[in-house]
Structure 1
Amino acid sequence: MPPNSQRSLLRTKPVEQLTSEGAHSGLRRSMGLISLVSLSVGATLGTGIFVVLGEAAPKAGPAVVVSFALAALAALFSALSYAELAGAVPVSGSAYSYTYATLGELIAWVCGWCLLLEYGVSVAAVAVGWGGYLNVFLEATVGVRIPEELAAPPGAGGVVNIPAAVVVLLATAVLIAGVRESARATTVTTMIKVAVLIFFVAVAATAFDSGNMTPFAPEGLVGIAGGASAVFFSFIGFDAASTAGEEARNPQRDLPRAIMISLGIVTFVYVAVALTAIGAIGVDRLSAKGASLSTVMAEVTGSSWASTVLAVGAVIAIASVVLTVLYGQTRVLVSMSRDGLMPPVFAKVGARAVPTTNILVVGVLVAVLAALVPLGELTNATSIGTLVAFGLVNVGVLVLRRTKPDLPRSFRTPLMPVVPLLGLVLCVILIVGLGAKTWIAFLIWTAVGLVVYFGYGRRRSRLNQDA
C-alpha cells in the first residue's frame, strides 16, 4: 500500500467539521434533559434484568450481584469518557464520530461497524426476550399461549419467533412517526418500567432468605467475571443517549448529565432486583427461558396476579428498549453515511425530520435477525461489540486531550489519565471473559466489515475525496 494510502487510513476528521455538519443535518432539536435521560434509561433498563438475569446467574451464582456491579464499574469509567466527548463533540455518531475525530478513519470504521453489531444484535436479543413475557401475559389474561414453534427461533425449540419480529416492526413504525413522538413514548414507557421494577423489589424482598445466597460465588472470580461479561451489554443505554447529539436542544450541557444520571439509576435498579430475586427463590430456580422475574413473582406470592402485573410492565418496558436502541443504530448509520462510508440513502432525512429509509431498512433486517437467532448467541455478540466501542472511546478521550487541549468541554473526565486507562483495562478483561464462539463470530463480523470498507467506504470517503 503506498505511503499516502496508509496516511489516509489514519486521517482524522476535524471536530469543527463534525459539529458543522451536525448543525445542518436536517434533524430536529427537540430533546431536553428529561427526554435524554429517558432515552438512556429506556435503552438500558430491562435488557439485563427482564431478559438476561436468568442466564447470567448460573455462571456467577448469587455473586451475579457483584457481576452487575463490576460491569457497572467498567461502564462508569467508559461513561465518564463518553460524557467528556459528548459535550465536546455533540453529534449523532456517538463512539464512531468520537473515534473519527481522534484515531482516524480506519479505526472509526471498525468502531462504527462494532456499533452496528452492538445495536442491531441488542435490539434482536431484547425482542427475543419480549416474547417470553408476552406469553406469560396472554396465558394469565386470556388463557392463550403462542405455540413454541412460532415463539422461538431455530435452535431454541421453534421455527420462527414471530413476537420478536412484531415488536421490532412496531418500534420501527414509532421511529418513522418522528423524534418528538418517539421521545414521548420513551418517557412514558420508562416511567412504567421503573414503577414495575420497584414493585418487584418490594414483593420479592418479603420472601428474602439469606440461605439462598450461599454458596455466594461457586465458581469464584472466574464465574463473577463471566457473569459480568454476559451482562455488560445491559449498560449500553448511555451510548444510545450520545447518539442524540444532533436532536438535543442543548447537547453540550445535557448529554453529559443524561449519561451520568442514567448510569446511576440503572445500576441501582439492577443490583436491587438481582439481589431480591436470588434471595427470594435462589439461583437454581431462576428460569433461563426469558421470563425469570415472572417466575419469581409466581413463587413468592403463590398466585398469578403479581407475575401478570410484572409481565404487563415487562411487555411495555422491553418494547421501549427495542425502540430506543433501534433509534441509536439508525443515528450511527446517519453519521457513517454522511461521511461517505455507507450509501448516502442512510443519511437522507424525510419530511418528518427523521431518516425514513434508514429506519425502514434497519427495522426489517433486525426483525429478521430477532425471528431466527437464539437469545444466548445474540447477547454475547452484543457484549463484545459494546466493549470494543467503549475501549476505543477511552483511548479517544486521551488522544483528544493531547491533540486539542483547548477545545471547549462542558464536562471533563476526572483523574486523567487514570479513569480512561482503567476503563480500557476493564473492557479488555471483560472481552477476554467471553467464549470462543463469541470471538469467532466477532472476528468474522470484523473481517466482513473490512471487506466492505476497502471495497466501498474507503473509495467514497468524503474526507479522502476532500483531500
Structure 2
Amino acid sequence: MHQLKQDITLFSGISQLATTLLGTGLFMVPAIASGITGSLTLWAWCILFIAICPIALTFATMGKHYPNAGGTAYFVRRAFNKRLENAVAWLFMSIMPVGIPPAIALAGGFLKPILPSFLAHDWAAQLLTIALLLIVNLMGSKSSGQLQSLIALCIFALIGGFFWQGNIGLDDLVMPTLHAQDAISIGEALAVMFWCFVGIEAFAHMGEEFKNPQRDFPIAILAGCFIAGCVYWACTVVILKFHAYGSSHFDNGSIPWLSDHLFGSNMALVISILGFFACFASVNLYTQSLSRMVLSQARQYRPSSALVSVSSRGVPVRATYVVFAVITASCVLGLVTELDLSIFLKLANSVFVMIYLLAMLAATRLLTGKARHLARLSLLLCTLVFLCLGWSMLYAVIILLVFMRPWQRTQQRHYAQS
C-alpha cells in the first residue's frame, strides 16, 4: 500500500495551517517586533500580510494544479528537472537538524511546569515532546487535523479573553500615523515577522491528502493565512496596550505575563498547556511534511524500498521513523553542547526562504496568464527577503549546491545504463 489517504477536510486544513503559522511565533514575535518599532508594528502586520498574499496565492494555485506529497520539490521537477528536485528535497530535509530542535526546546519549556518534579528537566521535557509528536504522526493526518482544530479554537479563545479582560476599546485599535522615516524600523520588524508566515511551504506537501484538493487546498491556504494574520495583529494590540515588550523577559514571556496580569496566577497552568500544544501543533505539521518528503523521494527513486510502505491509516511509517531519528539526535546534540538556539533559527530561516524562492521560480514556468504574473511578483518579494538574511543565507546556498552535483552524476549513470 503506497498511497496516502485523502482525509483532510477544508476545516481541518484551515486549522492545521493557522496553528502552524501561529505556533511558536505567537509567543515570541509580536513582543519582539513591538520592541523594535513600537505601535508601528500594527502597520507592519498589515504590510506583511499584503506582501505574503501573492506568495500564498501562488502556493495555493500550485497546490490546486499539482497536488503531491513532494511539495516544492515536485513543483521544481515539473518546472525544471529531477536533479534540481533532489537538491530541493535535501534542502527541505536539512531543516530537520536546525529548524525543529528550537521549536521542540520551546515546547519543552512550556511542558516542564506541567511535569512532576522528577521529570521537570530539559532532557525529559524535550524527549517526551518528541515521543508525543511521533505518536500523533503515526495516528495519521485526519487525527492530527482534529487535534490542531482544537488547539486553534483554544488560541482564539485566549486572544478573545485578552480583549475582553483587557477592556480593549476602539481607541486601542486606532492605527498610528506613518512617517517616511518609519520605513527603516518597520523594515527591521518585518525581517523578524516573516518567521510567522513560514509554514506555507510545508503545507504544500499535504495537498495530496485533501479530500477535494482542487477546491479546498487553495481556500485552506488563504483562510489559514488570514486567520493567523488577524490573531497576530490582535495579540499585538494587547501587548502594546499593556506595554508587554521592550525587554528580553517579554521576548518569549509576554503571553504568560499578560495572562498573569489579566487573569491572575491561576491561569499559569492553562497557559503552559496551551503554549505547549501551540508549539506542538507547529512542529507536528513539519514532521508530517518531512516524512512525506522522504516517502516521495523513495517512491520516485527507490520504489522497492521499505520507506515507501504506508500504513492502513495512510502514514509513511518507516519514513516517519527516519525523520524522528534525525530530530532526536539533533535535540540531544543541542542539549549536550548547549548551542545557541538562535543560530539554529537563522540557519533554518535561510532554508525556508530559499524554498519559497524556488517554489515561486517554478511557478513562473508552470503557471500561465495572471497566475504567472503573480508568481513573478512573489519571486521578487522572496528574492528581496533572501538578500536581507545576510550571512545565514549561505547555509541554504551550500546545501543546494552540494546536493545537486552527486545527483547529477547518479542520473548520468542511470541514463547511460538505460
TM-score, normalising length from structure 1? Answer: 0.76
Which residue, 294, 299, 309 being the options, matches 1:333? 294
Residue number in structure 2 paired with 1:29: 6
> How much has 1:460 moved relative to structure 2?
5.7
- Check whether the contact 2:20–2:285 (CA below 8 A) recurs between aligned residues: yes
**Per-residue displacement from partner, 1:356-409 (whole Å, max 9, x unpaired)?**
11111212322333451543223322322222222222222221135xx8xxxx
Aligned residue pairs: how many? 411
Residue number in structure 2 paired with 1:393: 359
Structure 2 stretches lacking a partner, 5+ long: none
Residue type of the alignment partner of 2:27: F
Change (3 A) 1:454 1:395: closer
Q: SS where residue 231 of structure 1 aligns? A: helix
**CA distance in structure 2 between the aligned counterparts of 1:319 and 1:270, rounded to whole angstroms:** 18
**CA distance in structure 1 between the aligned counterparts of 2:412 and 2:42, rounded to whole angstroms:** 45
Correspondence 1:71-150 to 2 at 5 A: 71-118=48-95, 121-135=98-112, 150=121
**CA distance in structure 2 between the aligned counterparts of 1:191 and 1:464, rounded to whole angstroms:** 52
Which residue, 389, 394, 410 being the options, matches 1:459? 410
Corresponding position: 1:375 with 2:322 = no
Larger displacement relative to structure 2 (312-321 or 88-97)? 312-321
Larger displacement relative to structure 2 (71-80 or 259-268)? 71-80
Corresponding position: 1:171 with 2:133 = yes
**CA distance in structure 2 between the aligned counterparts of 1:424 and 1:205, rounded to whole angstroms:** 42
Residue number in structure 1 paired with 2:280: 319
> How much has 1:351 moved relative to structure 2?
4.6
Residue number in structure 2 paired with 1:5: none
**CA distance in structure 1 between the aligned counterparts of 2:63 and 2:290, rounded to whole angstroms:** 17
- Check whether the contact 2:244–2:257 (CA below 8 A) recurs between aligned residues: no
Residue number in structure 1 paired with 2:378: 423
- Check whether the contact 2:163–2:238 (CA below 8 A) recurs between aligned residues: yes
- Check whether the contact 1:41–1:237 (CA below 8 A) recurs between aligned residues: no
> How much has 1:450 moved relative to structure 2?
3.8
State the identity %.
19
Which residue, 139, 142, 149 being the options, matches 1:187? 149
- RMSD value, Cα: 3.5
**CA distance in structure 2 between the aligned counterparts of 1:83 and 1:361, rounded to whole angstroms:** 29
Correspondence 1:216-227 to 2 at 5 A: 220-227=182-189
**Per-residue displacement from partner, 1:12-57 (whole Å, max 9, x unpaired)?**
xxxxxxxxxxxx8421122221122122123222231124444444
Corresponding position: 1:41 with 2:2 = no
- Check whether the contact 1:342–1:457 (CA below 8 A) recurs between aligned residues: no
Change (3 A) 1:305 1:244: same
Residue number in structure 2 paired with 1:239: 201
> How much has 1:264 moved relative to structure 2?
0.8
Corresponding position: 1:294 with 2:256 = yes
> How much has 1:217 moved relative to structure 2?
9.7
**CA distance in structure 2 between the aligned counterparts of 1:269 and 1:123, rounded to whole angstroms:** 23
**Per-residue displacement from partner, 1:56-83 (whole Å, max 9, x unpaired)?**
4434444344443343333211111111
> How much has 1:92 moved relative to structure 2?
1.1
> How much has 1:270 moved relative to structure 2?
0.9
Larger displacement relative to structure 2 (263-272 or 31-40)? 31-40
Residue type of the alignment partner of 1:423: S
Q: SS where residue 207 of structure 2 aligns? A: coil
Residue number in structure 1 paired with 2:319: 358
**CA distance in structure 2 between the aligned counterparts of 1:217 and 1:183, rounded to whole angstroms:** 43
Residue number in structure 2 paired with 1:439: 393
**CA distance in structure 2 between the aligned counterparts of 1:233 and 1:119, rounded to whole angstroms:** 17
- Check whether the contact 1:205–1:276 (CA below 8 A) recurs between aligned residues: no
- Check whether the contact 1:207–1:279 (CA below 8 A) recurs between aligned residues: no
**Per-residue displacement from partner, 1:112-149 (whole Å, max 9, x unpaired)?**
333224466443332222233334556xxx8x5977xx
Change (3 A) 1:288 1:462: farther
Correspondence 1:188-207 to 2 at 5 A: 188-204=150-166, 206=168
Change (3 A) 1:243 1:123: same
- Check whether the contact 1:341–1:458 (CA below 8 A) recurs between aligned residues: no
Correspondence 1:337-352 to 2 at 5 A: 337-340=298-301, 344-352=305-313
Q: SS where residue 206 of structure 2 aligns? A: coil
> How much has 1:261 moved relative to structure 2?
1.0
Residue type of the alignment partner of 2:14: V
Change (3 A) 1:452 1:433: closer
Residue type of the alignment partner of 1:36: G
Change (3 A) 1:184 1:61: same
Change (3 A) 1:57 1:336: farther
**CA distance in structure 1 between the aligned counterparts of 2:76 and 2:161, rounded to whole angstroms:** 41
Residue number in structure 2 paired with 1:15: none
Change (3 A) 1:293 1:30: same
Which residue, 68, 76, 82 being the options, matches 2:45? 68
Residue type of the alignment partner of 1:318: C
- Check whether the contact 2:31–2:246 (CA below 8 A) recurs between aligned residues: no
Residue number in structure 1 paired with 2:237: 275
Change (3 A) 1:84 1:297: same
- Check whether the contact 2:86–2:403 (CA below 8 A) recurs between aligned residues: no
Larger displacement relative to structure 2 (313-322 or 181-190)? 181-190
Q: SS where residue 317 of structure 1 aligns? A: helix
**CA distance in structure 2 between the aligned counterparts of 1:384 and 1:342, rounded to whole angstroms:** 31
- Check whether the contact 2:112–2:125 (CA below 8 A) recurs between aligned residues: no
Change (3 A) 1:386 1:69: farther
Change (3 A) 1:292 1:191: same
Change (3 A) 1:82 1:305: same
